[in-house]
Structure 1
Amino acid sequence: MTVKNAWYENDSRFIPGHWQPAVLLDLALSRGLDSHRLLRGSGLFHEDILAGQAKLSPQQFLCLIDNSQRLLAADDSSFLFGQRLLPGHYGAASHALQQAGNLQQALDILRQQRALLSPLLSPRVLLDEQQVHIYWLDSCGACEQQRFLLEAGMTALVGMSRWLSGERLPWRCSFSHAQPRYVEQYWVHLGENVQFGAPLDVISLPREYLHKPWPGASLTAGKVVQQHSRAQLDELGFDASLLDRLYSHLLGNIRQAPQLDSVAAAFGMSASTLKRKLQKHGTHFQEQLDLARKHVAIYLYQVQGYSNDEVAAYLQFHDATNFRRSFKRWTGLAPSALRRLWQAS
């Protein structure tokens, strides 16, 4: 299967500087920081962003995030940034979010418009019988900034849903990293139902909230601005990053045990070119394949109720022992420990 859609990479300059980057810049400036120090190494000046014409690459945005974290040195920076992110002021895509009639529509818009609304962190939606789960993927090689983006992304979703629904929704947040010393910031901004050391970064909610009507939404205005937001994406020329496209391709072909050469061919490039592009994003093919396998394995365990042998066979592991060893490397947990973790949550 050939991947036909275009994508952006971490050096693609397409993020308007007066959108998400300006949100972080204004937060830092409000705390007395100097704009030149904040933008150092990004190749930009504050005047470029104020002019409304500057376009940042993900690399430049990540440089701004790194500078802000280091200079602010405050535990609440990511959460305050997240509170300001959604719906945001990002043209028609933000207007579409503001007119969403319920959480399902908002999640659909956020997923479809992720290049505009969440260019560094890609939200993925998964449903089981009781819950809706949104898990988060690194779109551009965030590396050290990944935790900052996760904290901000989950805070943005919690804050937006509370504002548009008119109520505090009972979100449950799980993070793969260990509990940090500033855990009170999680409780303040995300609620007390927060778990650390989880197998993946995910935020969950009972399914009954998906279709509960949100007050203030306009059906007519919503349809019009969604058309305009799709036109925004058409003008942009892509709606996802290279890592997003690769993840989707690996998921769709996971039972065929994807290999570097065949995947590179599907992307219309040589294996060496794909390796070089992934290295530019701070990752490699095996890491991306293991990520897709991990997510499929967790889904099969948690949602489908598969046994170890069934999951191993599904993922083309011929040795169940080797699969269990790989699963522990992916998640830090043995399958049996994962089940105990779910039962305790």
Structure 2
Amino acid sequence: MALGYECDTRFIAAHHQPAVLIDLAMSRGIDSHQLLRGTGLFYEDVSAGRARVSPAQSLMLIANARRLLAADDSSFLFGQRLLPGHYGDVSHALNHAASLHQALDVLQQFRALLCPLLTPRVLHDQKQVHLYWTDSCGAGEQLRFLIEANLTAVVALTRRLSGNRLPWRFHLAYAQPRHVEQYWVHLGEELAFESQMTMMSLPIDYLHQPWPTASATAGQVALQASQAQLEALGWSRSFIDQLYEHLETHIRDPLSLERVAQAFDMSPATFKRKLHKHGTGFQEQLDQVRKHVALYLYRMKGYGNEEVANYLRFNDTTNFRRSFKRWTGLAPSSLGQLFD
């Protein structure tokens, strides 16, 4: 299979998402030389529109901005400006989405162009649509900044395009931060911290409600141009995304590092090195996917412990319970806490 982009792949236009953060920092008096230190970027190249940066360089920029700004609202203000953005055709495609359903499709299909560092994934049941997020390239210490920014970006986008503030509810997979008031201001008060997944949810009725500003013709032309841009890059997702989706597809098969490395047409040693480069390992990725699938089966399919264990090919429920507690910190019997 053709591998997706990696943490050191230079493909992100520096005058797109990185420039949004650069402009925010400079508007608050931050010196551009300090801001760009260690990123390999020069402001002149960014403003000339000729620089391309890797996810690792983007993450260094975020680290610098966080340190220099030293403000609790930085990620949220960054997120307010992210979508639909000024990224050419793909921003036009998003701007002309006819509904939330179409906007989420665009966000997923063109994630390499719209949100290259954090991957949006959509699930829905009969009552709700859920948008959850996974790390694309090994964000490390910048992960929470990215989560805050991307959640805010989707809230701001849907409010702008629908004409209303939609009643999103949020689950955050970390403890409540000291700056929780920023969440209240930018996301609302429907927040659950220390959850099992980072996810935002909305009643399903909002998924197909028509949005007033869409132009079907302009949107279609922009989608075609965006697809051509994606094809020119040669991939639409990251290597870590590809691994997540391979594991998810084959979650009921016997999975080992050696088998998956073979599916990716590389040696186990090379595969391990690639994962290590992204700050992760095979077991960590497999456990994450198993956890997500188990939570999906419990929450949306209404499966019991034995059914989930059987689906995931565990030989006995005792072994499954032990593994489930390792993934979540909770026993399956604590289901009430899983989705608080």
Interval of TM-score (by shorter of Structure 1 and Structure 2): over 0.9
1:179 maps to which of 176, 189, 195: 176
2:60 maps to which of 43, 53, 63: 63
Counterpart residue number, 2:232: 235
Counterpart residue number, 1:140: 137
- Once the two structures are superposed, what CA deviation does each residue of 1:233-257 show, in whole Å capped at 9, x if it has no partner? 0111110000000000000000013
Counterpart residue number, 1:155: 152
Contact 1:6 1:237 in 2 (8 A): no
Mapped pair 1:252 → 2:235? no
Counterparts of 1:338 and 1:197, CA distance in 2: 14
Q: Quick one: which amino acid aligns to residue 231 of structure 1? A: A
Contact 1:115 1:239 in 2 (8 A): yes
- Once the two structures are superposed, what CA deviation does each residue of 1:186-206 show, in whole Å capped at 9, x if it has no partner? 010001101101010000001
Counterparts of 1:237 and 1:90, CA distance in 2: 18
SS state of the match for residue 120, structure 2? Answer: strand
Structure 2 unpaired stretches of 5+: none
Counterpart residue number, 1:307: 304
Mapped pair 1:45 → 2:42? yes
Contact 1:199 1:333 in 2 (8 A): no
1:206 maps to which of 203, 206, 217: 203
Mapped pair 1:90 → 2:78? no
Counterparts of 2:117 and 2:142, CA distance in 1: 10
- Once the two structures are superposed, what CA deviation does each residue of 1:32-63 show, in whole Å capped at 9, x if it has no partner? 11111111111111111111100000000000
Mapped pair 1:336 → 2:333? yes
- Once the two structures are superposed, what CA deviation does each residue of 1:10-45 show, in whole Å capped at 9, x if it has no partner? 000000000000000111111111111111111111
Contact 2:196 2:338 in 1 (8 A): no
Counterpart residue number, 1:317: 314
Counterparts of 1:257 and 1:128, CA distance in 2: 28
Contact 1:174 1:200 in 2 (8 A): yes
Q: Quick one: which amino acid aligns to residue 20 of structure 1? A: Q
Mapped pair 1:215 → 2:215? no
Counterparts of 2:246 and 2:175, CA distance in 1: 30
The alpha carbon displacement at 1:327 in A equals 1.5
Counterparts of 1:83 and 1:331, CA distance in 2: 31
Contact 1:79 1:151 in 2 (8 A): yes
Q: Where do residues 265-276 of structure 1 align in structure 2 (5 Å cutoff)? A: 265-276=262-273
Contact 1:29 1:35 in 2 (8 A): yes
Counterpart residue number, 1:191: 188
Contact 1:24 1:81 in 2 (8 A): yes
- Once the two structures are superposed, what CA deviation does each residue of 1:270-313 show, in whole Å capped at 9, x if it has no partner? 11111000000000000000010000000010011111111112
Counterpart residue number, 2:51: 54
Counterparts of 2:190 and 2:209, CA distance in 1: 22
TM-score (norm 1): 0.97
Q: Quick one: which amino acid aligns to residue 78 of structure 1? A: S
Counterpart residue number, 1:7: 4
Q: Quick one: which amino acid aligns to residue 187 of structure 2? A: L
Counterparts of 1:230 and 1:67, CA distance in 2: 33
Mapped pair 1:261 → 2:258? yes
Counterpart residue number, 2:33: 36
Counterpart residue number, 2:77: 80
Counterparts of 1:215 and 1:333, CA distance in 2: 44
Counterparts of 2:119 and 2:296, CA distance in 1: 18
- Which of 146-155 and 315-324 deviates more? 315-324
The alpha carbon displacement at 1:338 in A equals 3.0
Give the aligned length.
Answer: 340
Q: Which runs of 4+ in 1 moved over 3 A?
A: none
Contact 1:131 1:207 in 2 (8 A): yes
Cα gap change, 1:5 to 1:127, in 2 (>3 Å): farther
Counterparts of 1:119 and 1:51, CA distance in 2: 21
Counterparts of 1:81 and 1:327, CA distance in 2: 36
Contact 2:291 2:327 in 1 (8 A): yes
Q: Percent identity?
A: 64
Structure 1 unpaired stretches of 5+: none
